[in-house]
Amino acid sequence: MIKYLLTIFLLAALFSCSCKKRISNSSNDDKNTIENTNSIDKSAVYNSTKEYAIVIKKTNLSKNNPFPTISFSIIDLNNSNRSIFNDTVPGGKVKWISDYAIEVKSMIGRPKDIHSKVKKPLYKLNVKSLTKFK
């Protein structure tokens, strides 16, 4: 009878150790997934005359950052690829609206629907004169 109880006790102890190991491996997988989602996506968009480019750096969604933040620079390709303007916009987008003007959009406050893609123009920028307009 004592051998039977001792065997059950040892099996229970071994089973509980293997469960702890599985839980810790699972949490490491979660950390790897979170690290992968914090990666940065970079792209460049040229204006139609190829005189200027917008270099956009976008961070992906994460638990701490529910809206992807973009950082962008306007590069003057005719002037030694010099950066002439920089900005960072949480939950934003930037695009060319003419040969020498960009539009920067941002999320409107707190969206009612989590899947809502409603953006409002934050500002427009003339890249030649570096003046903002609405």
106-117: per-residue pLDDT in tens?
Answer: 875 555 555 555
Q: What are the tens digits of pLDDT across the range 7-60?
A: 776 666 655 554 433 333 333 433 333 333 344 668 899 999 999 999 999 877
Q: State the pLDDT at residue 73.
A: 95
Give the DSSP letter of residue 124. E
Q: Where are the domains of the chain?
A: 40-133
Give yes or no for a contact between 72 and 94, defined as CB atoms under 8 angstroms apart: yes
Distance CA 85, CA 79 (A): 13
Q: State the pLDDT at residue 110.
A: 57
pLDDT band at 5 (very low <50, low <70, confident <90, very high): low
Q: Which residues of 117-129 are buried (b: 16+ CB within 10 A; e: fewer)?
A: eeeeebebbebee
Distance CA 80, CA 58 (A): 24
Distance CA 31, CA 38 (A): 11
**Beta strand pairing call for 93-98 and 82-90:** unpaired
Q: What are the tens digits of pLDDT across the range 53-74?
A: 999 998 777 777 777 788 999 9
pTM recorded for the entire structure: 0.60
- Beta strand residue intervals within the chain, DSSP E: 40-46, 52-59, 69-76, 82-90, 93-98, 101-107, 119-126, 131-133
